[in-house]
Amino acid sequence: MKECEVIKVQRFNAEEAKSALIENKVEAMGKLFKVLGDKNRLAIVCLLKESDMCVHEIIKVLGKEQSLISHQLKILRDSKIVKTSKRKNETVYSLDDEHIGILLKIANEHVKE
């Protein structure tokens, strides 16, 4: 294969580009985006951005099955996107990290156009 024009012009170094990818932690970022890329999980995260909530309430607002919400909450917990606390026999969920709120804000701006 012949080297393409752009490479020649930019004197682009493939190895360098690839190591830049590693440094950027593409894999971990991809996992984060993937978790936020499910509509139920994202809805949960958006709700929690407004207010902490117990599982029961999330189920009520989203109108989905308890089991489904519980599974998605586990994925969100495992991804360190949400955290929990206990109140009597309820589990209260909240966002774990302020970055997530910012991420939502930027994504929302992108989508607005």
Residue (74 or 105) nearer to a second copy, CB? 105
Q: Residue 86: beta bridge partners?
A: 91
Q: Which residues bind DNA (CB under 7 A)?
A: 1-2, 4, 34, 37-41, 54-56, 59, 64-68, 70-75, 84, 86, 88-91
36 binds a second copy (CB under 8 A): yes
- Long-range contacts: 11-15, Cβ < 8 Å, 24+? none
Beta carbons within 10 angstroms of residue 44's beta carbon:
25
28 versus 68: smaller Cβ distance to a second copy = 28
